[in-house]
Structure 1
Amino acid sequence: MSVDPQASTSSWPIPPKGGWTADDLDRLPNLPPHTELIDGSLVFVSPQTFFHSRVVSFFEWQLQSVAPSDLEVVREFTIDIDRQNRPEPDVVVAREDVVDPDQTRFPAEAVVLAIEVVSEESVSRDRETKPLKYARAKIAHYWRVENEKGRAVVHAFELEPTTGAYTSVGIFRERMKLDVPFPVDLDLTQIKTRRDRDE
């Protein structure tokens, strides 16, 4: 007697016609932490490398210490760009007047700066897809952090109002000094392991 194999029930969420929406991120059960919505598709984030974690912590704490009091610095928090796009930058700087303890996302118009730390699986999203979406949403500043042989290299961009596209304001390796969106003078060589610091 033969038994037909039973089809296993998929535990993956099946997208509705037209794709997921920004509101679905708050309603779908059992999503992995830090799930993003890009063009109506769910994007699951790979495990973080030590470099990625160290860079995110560095910018979160350094920017908190120098940001004006009317701005909030938050790590890994989604931005409402439109119905089909709700990306989650690694660090976000947003206007303090929009912050509510119960919210799960920032409106794009409240975001002053979005920072992405490039990982192996996010290269095209961080270099191509997300900058276009952030620019379209009129987020004035975008920083992309790359891993260059274990050292952080920051590519800083500012929105050019007449074209609506980002223009480079500098590539920073050891020291990052900028006046916008607020004055920063950061020692990027501090992004390293404790062992490296002791050497």
Structure 2
Amino acid sequence: MVAATVETGIEESGDSIWRPPYTVDTLFELPETNLRFEVLEGKLIVSPPPTTAHNSIYAELFRVFLSTLPKEVRILTNNAIRLPNGDGPIPDLLVCTAARPAAYPKGLPAAHVHTVVEVVSPSNARTDRVTKTRVYAEAGIPCYWRIEQRPWKEHLGPRMAPDDRSGRHGNRTSRRRRYRRHHRQRDARSCPAGRLIRPRRRSGRSSGGGGTCR
């Protein structure tokens, strides 16, 4: 998602009804604009229109998911999720098992969501890699796909020895991850449908990280 925290001016008006901390309900009270808003950790985030490259990536993923998943599973685009803590993220794609998603016009409950997909852009890299990884994991969403718009170099040789006891290496930092990363397009095409609709985690049990489900 092409996103950035910006000054919206909403809270600056003396008679404004929109004041922080914001919730998912705020999204459905705002005036209609060509921008897209979402709420993360009580903050209002605004997204400019996505680029053609961004749209092409998630359109291709939509096509792959549609051909992979059973018919009773729903694939939604740009749909707000109602998280237990009141946040309202809007992933580029989500996979859910709600029989009637239209029955939730003000945000799909997180309990129905099994996979979320975000296409990372330079302006929102930290939001998708750090903030949304934490928010989705704490909500118990089992699978998070983060699509990077940059080439990857695969390292097949031995890893460098750590410089000290902290585990820090000369050119990288080792981190434990709840979500495992996949870097190739073929991973999406060969991913078993069961991974996209796997059972939900208990909320609040993630140790952080980024990428896709295991």
Q: Same fold (TM over 0.5)?
A: yes
1:12 alignment counterpart = 9
- Alignment pair present for 1:92 and 2:104: no
Q: 1:96 to 1:14 in 2, by over 3 A?
A: same
1:23 alignment counterpart = 25
Q: 1:70 to 1:174 in 2, by over 3 A?
A: closer
- Structure 2: distance between partners of 1:172 and 1:108: 26
Matches within 5 A, 1:11-90: 12-14=9-11, 16=18, 18-90=20-92
Q: 1:24 to 1:31 in 2, by over 3 A?
A: farther
**Structure with the higher strand share, 1 or 2:** 1
Q: Which has the larger radius of gyration?
A: 1
SS at match of 2:102: coil
1:107 alignment counterpart = 109
- Structure 2: distance between partners of 1:136 and 1:171: 21
Q: 1:59 to 1:120 in 2, by over 3 A?
A: same
- Structure 1: distance between partners of 2:53 and 2:63: 16
Q: Deviations over 1:99-126 (max 9, x none)?
A: 1266242101100100000011110011
CA shift, 1:46, in A, is: 2.3
CA shift, 1:134, in A, is: 0.5
- Structure 1: distance between partners of 2:8 and 2:118: 29
Stretches of structure 1 that go unaligned for 5 or more consecutive residues are 1-9, 152-164, 184-199
Q: Deviations over 1:149-198 (max 9, x none)?
A: 5x9xxxxxxxxxxxxx7231x42324112224259xxxxxxxxxxxxxxx
Q: Which moved more, 1:93-102 or 1:21-30?
A: 93-102
Task: Name the % identity.
Answer: 25
CA contact (8 A) 1:34 1:44 kept: yes
Give the TM-score of the pair, scaled to structure 2.
0.66
- Structure 2: distance between partners of 1:123 and 1:25: 22
SS at match of 2:144: strand
SS at match of 1:77: coil
Stretches of structure 2 that go unaligned for 5 or more consecutive residues are 1-6, 13-17, 153-176, 198-214
SS at match of 1:166: coil
Q: 1:140 to 1:83 in 2, by over 3 A?
A: closer
| 2:124 paired residue among 111, 119, 122 | 122
Aligned residues: 159
CA contact (8 A) 1:34 1:45 kept: yes
Q: Which moved more, 1:24-33 or 1:106-115?
A: 24-33
- Structure 2: distance between partners of 1:104 and 1:56: 23
- Compute the RMSD of aligned alpha carbons: 2.5
Higher RCO (CA 8 Å, separation ≥ 6 residues): 2
